[in-house]
Amino acid sequence: MVHWSAEEKQLITSVWSKINVEECGAEALARLLIVYPWTQRFFDNFGNLSSPTAIIGNPKVRAHGKKVLTSFGEAVKNLENLKATYAKLSELHCEKLHVDPENFRLLGDILIIVLAAHFTKDFTPACQATWQKLVGVVAHALAYKYH
């Protein structure tokens, strides 16, 4: 089980409370698809992903980005119990979606950059470290049921 200090919990909830989940989620997913274009392989049915402009403006990307980051909110609410929180989603990503867990790590890294750009100087080293830890354990929990 992952241990979270009081400071870490504070850094997580305080950042989360200031995020616009829809905007941030859309931005993170769009950047994932632009920076690591091979991740587009999971989104054949999303329509036009032919350029950064197309990706950023794509309504399916926005909607899916919002969905993904909303689900991240469950992690923030259940820091002591991430494996259980993500058990079903983990099975889904393995058995139905066939997503290599490396992609969760890539998205996590992208989310950190999006947060850094959004919060600038307020994204202190302690904040970065805490959130990098959080995205890492979320990725781990999502990969946990893989077989």
Partner 1 sequence: MVLSSNDKTNVKTIFTKIGGHAEEYGSETLERMFITYPQTKTYFPHFDLQHGSAQIKAHGKKVAGALIEAVNHIDDIAGALSKLSDLHAQKLRVDPVNFKLLGQCFLVVVAIHHPSVLTPEVHASLDKFLCAVGNVLTAKYR
48 binds partner 1 (CB under 8 A): no
Task: List the structure tokens of 137.
Answer: 């354990």
Rule CB under 8 A: choose which of 78, 91, 128, 145 binds partner 1.
128
Closer CB to partner 1, 81 or 128, in the complex: 128
Rule CB under 8 A: choose which of 2, 113, 144, 145 binds partner 1.
113
Nearest one of 42, 52, 61 to 104, comparing CA atoms: 42
Q: Are 90 and 72 in contact (CB under 8 A)?
A: no
12 binds partner 1 (CB under 8 A): no
Provide the CB-side half-sphere exposure for 121 (13 A, CA).
0
Q: To 10 degrees, what angle do helices 21-35 and 59-77 make?
A: 120
Binding site for partner 1 (CB under 8 A): 30-31, 34-35, 52, 55-56, 109, 112-114, 116-121, 123, 125-126, 128-129, 132
